[in-house]
Chain A
Amino acid sequence: MGGVIALAFTGGMLVTLSRQLNGRLAMDSSALGSSFWNHLVGLAVLLAVALVAGGLWPQGTGDAPWFAWIGGALGVVFVAGGSWLIPRLGAAMTGGLLVAGQMLSGVVLDLLRDGGRNAALQAAGVALILAGVALSRRRQRKTAA
């Protein structure tokens, strides 16, 4: 169990690492350019893994709904957005605000789809997130360390 916990924690660290690398690349070129390289290099790695794992075109590919194919296009904007934000907000606030946007939209989508579960708990979560976002706009003087 400890190994899996460490692995899940590492999964999160990889997200931050990727965003920092892409942000650095964008500082020398452009946010969209960094997104292009991110996708191209990732594609090369995944192609190699898929070839070793045995199969580039699994069964069921033809049955996937049309919108299953547009995740990559959204990903281009997502990576470019992160690269644009990193030098402006820093890694921690970039990550925090991206998660805030993801959670808020996720809750709205849930409400639209099936009414949502544990509504009170989710509402409290939304209130905390909105408070955090509002707080990030407050004037700040002292550093923590």
Chain B
Amino acid sequence: MNAAPRPRLTEIAAALATGGLLTFMLLCNSAMAAATTPLFSSLAAHGVGTVVAAAALAAIWLMRGARAARPNGPRRTPLWAYLGGVSGALTVMVTSYTANSALALTGTLALGLAGQVVLALIFDMTGAMGVKRRLPTLTELGALGAILAGTALIILARGGA
């Protein structure tokens, strides 16, 4: 089994920028949740997202022409691979419930972070769902540990605000 290759600079930059986008996405979605309900906020975000993604796919399809439209992989996509949205929708309901419990936002964020990382490590080590199996390197675990410790400090400092 191979160790994870060293991430490229472009991949790290892409990940940081994508994560940065999340801050603004949450800002928008919590403005909607504050004006209406958390459920409607997520509903609106998924509705707008569906339209935007469809428009972007259509634009790419038009630019490339119909011939090259589908980069079909050699294997058939199993139906369960389409269920990411179910898990995403459940996340909204779970976290809006726990954020309003005794855990508050701080506890929800910290425990959510732990859950994310534990399952991600299990997925990497088992090669879950056809994504390549990989053992985390010591360097990688050190990097993750530092990022998580820093994140915990910031969550604590903000007290969930």
Contacts and interface: CB of A to CB of B under 8 A. Distances in A.
B83 interface: yes
Given A8-B115, A71-B45, A105-B23, A135 B143 contact: yes
B116 A90 contact: no
Interface in A125-143: 125-133, 135-143
A39 B48 CA distance: 9
- A: interface residue count bin: 35 or more
A74 B52 CA distance: 9
Interface of B: 1, 3-4, 6-9, 11-12, 14-29, 31-32, 35-37, 39-54, 56-57, 60, 70-73, 75-77, 80-95, 97-98, 101-103, 107-108, 111-121, 123-125, 128-132, 134-154, 156-159, 161
Given A14-B87, A106-B23, A133-B12, 17 more contacts: A11-B108, A23-B129, A25-B84, A38-B85, A39-B50, A42-B88, A46-B42, A67-B27, A81-B18, A85-B14, A85-B15, A92-B144, A96-B143, A97-B19, A100-B150, A105-B22, A135-B146
